[in-house]
């Protein structure tokens, strides 16, 4: 497996713009969730909405891409000096040698939802509506690639809530096989009626801020987020977080319910460990998928307990950000990079009493300790699972 250095990363979510906003909120236990106030959605639920998106259109040279999802992508690209890092990478590698692989579940579908409300008496969509640069799932990757003026291979990965974890595996393979020298990976998913009403119809949306692994957990809080990372071959002695392994699997069980024993989740984690050559006993922390649905958390508990036992610290950070769907993988990968940098493990916010049936060591308080190697889980509809291992290179 081609290991990769995470040379730079950024994130935007309900906690704010840039990694320092997320770090501060994590350390102060401030959730980004609020009562649903998204457009005219009438749902009794809490959401992780990014403030300010309404006020900043996409840059004029890419105005055809105008939609909430690409605005959110642009917020991310403009945070943490990410753009200037890419300019430096272009000087080093050339535009053609940098790939762009972005995960999303719904891209800019909100633009289509709103256009359908504006159909004329003949049923035609309004003339301002553009499909390919907004709704189509490639739109966000095309936008990021055009914004950064990159010319390497690119595509969107759309495997629901595992999308932006899988981008790390794809980047490793593309760089390892010589198709490019570096990759911008990321995930962008924005609030829309499809996911708000769709998850509600499945009755897996909580009426309060989500409580992962809690005895009384009753569903997800939907959030929106963008996150990006620059991945390159590691150089000797660098003190950057490294992608050490990845594992991908399918449940082959059900479209929207995880395998009850967590068989697919277990296989993804096992494959990630095998790929990295690191034993489970050396993983210092597991960032759970931890959506706070009854089914996900209990299946994940089975799988995690079987592999890691009852001691390894585990938490879900979705109580802070909400479940950011296709951006969950990159958001939690970036949070994992912060745990490595800061020697800090986040709690499972909003949860006070862990489900007594669980075997995992669920953190209920933030903790300071040296952190060298972590694993992050991301699972999606269609039974699609991905686990990644991040850490410092072994000396």
Give catalytic residues, as residue numbers: 161, 289, 323
Task: Tell me: does residue 383 bind another protein (CB under 8 A).
Answer: yes
Q: What three-state secondary structure class fits 231?
A: strand
Tokens of 384: 């699609």
Task: Tell me: does residue 302 bind another protein (CB under 8 A).
Answer: no
Task: Tell me: does residue 201 bind another protein (CB under 8 A).
Answer: yes
For the chain, what's the residue count? 395
Pick the binder of another protein from 53, 157, 188, 328 (CB under 8 A).
Answer: 157
Task: Tell me: does residue 197 bind another protein (CB under 8 A).
Answer: yes
| Residue whose CB is less far from another protein, 150 or 336 | 150
Task: Tell me: does residue 384 bind another protein (CB under 8 A).
Answer: yes
102 to 96, 171, 196, 300: CA distances (angstroms):
17, 10, 22, 25
Least Å distance, CB 266 to another protein, is 10
Task: Tell me: does residue 291 bind another protein (CB under 8 A).
Answer: no
Crossing angle of helices 193-201 and 109-117, rounded to 10° = 90
Task: Tell me: does residue 37 bind another protein (CB under 8 A).
Answer: no
57-70 in b/e burial notation, b at 16+ Cβ within 10 A? ebeeebeebbbbbb
Pick the binder of another protein from 57, 94, 153, 359 (CB under 8 A).
Answer: 153
Task: Tell me: does residue 93 bind another protein (CB under 8 A).
Answer: no
Least Å distance, CB 382 to another protein, is 3
Task: Tell me: does residue 351 bind another protein (CB under 8 A).
Answer: no
- Count of Cβ atoms closer than 10 Å to residue 51 Cβ: 11
Task: Tell me: does residue 329 bind another protein (CB under 8 A).
Answer: no
Q: Identify which range of 189-197, 230-238, 283-291, 352-360 contacts another protein by CB under 8 A.
A: 189-197
| Residue whose CB is less far from another protein, 129 or 344 | 129
Q: What are the beta bridge partners of residue 13?
A: 16
Task: Tell me: does residue 193 bind another protein (CB under 8 A).
Answer: yes
Task: Tell me: does residue 3 bind another protein (CB under 8 A).
Answer: no
Pair 208, 123: CB distance under 8 Å:
no
Pair 318, 220: CB distance under 8 Å:
yes
Q: Identify which range of 157-165, 221-229, 312-320, 367-375 contacts another protein by CB under 8 A.
A: 157-165
Give strand ranges (E) for the chain.
Answer: 4-13, 16-17, 34-35, 46-48, 98-103, 154-157, 182-189, 222-223, 225-232, 242-250, 285-287, 313-315, 344-345, 361-362, 367-368, 373-380, 384-391
Task: Tell me: does residue 123 bind another protein (CB under 8 A).
Answer: yes
Instruction: Report the distance separating Cα 325 and Cα 327, nearest Å.
Output: 5
Q: Which residues bind another protein (CB under 8 A)?
A: 1-2, 96, 105, 109, 112-113, 116-117, 119, 123-125, 129-132, 136-138, 141-142, 145, 151-160, 166, 169-170, 172-174, 176-179, 193-194, 197-202, 248-256, 263-264, 267, 380-384
């Amino acid at each position: 497996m081609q290991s990769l250095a995470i040379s730079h990363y950024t994130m935007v979510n309900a906690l704010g713009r840039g990694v320092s906003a997320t770090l501060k909120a994590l350390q102060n236990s401030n959730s980004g969730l609020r009562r649903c106030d998204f457009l005219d959605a009438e749902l009794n639920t809490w959401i992780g909405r990014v403030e300010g998106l309404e006020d900043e259109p996409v840059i004029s040279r890419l105005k055809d891409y105008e939609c909430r999802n690409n605005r959110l992508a642009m917020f991310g690209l403009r945070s943490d000096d990410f753009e200037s890092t890419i300019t430096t990478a272009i000087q080093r590698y050339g535009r053609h040698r940098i790939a762009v692989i972005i995960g999303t579940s719904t891209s800019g579908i909100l633009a289509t939802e709103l256009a359908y409300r504006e159909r004329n008496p003949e049923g035609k969509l309004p003339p301002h509506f553009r499909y390919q640069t907004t709704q189509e799932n490639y739109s966000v990757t095309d936008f990021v690639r055009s914004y950064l003026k990159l010319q390497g291979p690119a595509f969107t990965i759309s495997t629901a809530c595992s999308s932006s974890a899988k981008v790390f595996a794809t980047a490793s393979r593309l760089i390892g096989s010589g198709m490019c020298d570096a990759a911008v990976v990321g995930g962008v998913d924005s609030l829309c009626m499809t996911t708000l009403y769709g998850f509600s119809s499945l009755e897996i949306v909580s009426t309060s801020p989500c409580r992962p692994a809690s005895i009384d957990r009753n569903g997800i809080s939907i959030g929106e987020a963008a996150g990006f990372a620059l991945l390159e071959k590691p150089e000797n002695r660098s003190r950057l977080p490294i992608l050490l392994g990845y594992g991908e699997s399918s449940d082959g069980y059900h479209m929207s319910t995880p395998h009850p024993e967590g068989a697919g989740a277990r296989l993804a984690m096992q494959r990630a460990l095998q790929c990295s050559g690191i034993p489970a006993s050396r993983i210092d922390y597991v960032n759970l998928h931890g959506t706070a649905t009854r089914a996900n958390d209990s299946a994940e508990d089975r799988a995690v307990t079987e592999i890691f036992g009852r001691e390894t610290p585990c938490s879900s950070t979705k109580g802070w950000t909400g479940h950011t769907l296709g951006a969950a993988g990159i958001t939690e990968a970036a949070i994992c990079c912060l745990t490595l940098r800061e020697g800090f493990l986040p709690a499972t916010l909003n949860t006070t009493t862990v489900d007594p049936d669980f075997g995992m060591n669920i953190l209920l308080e933030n903790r300071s300790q040296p952190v060298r190697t972590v694993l992050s889980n991301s699972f999606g509809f269609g039974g699609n699972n991905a686990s990644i291992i991040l850490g410092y290179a072994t000396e």
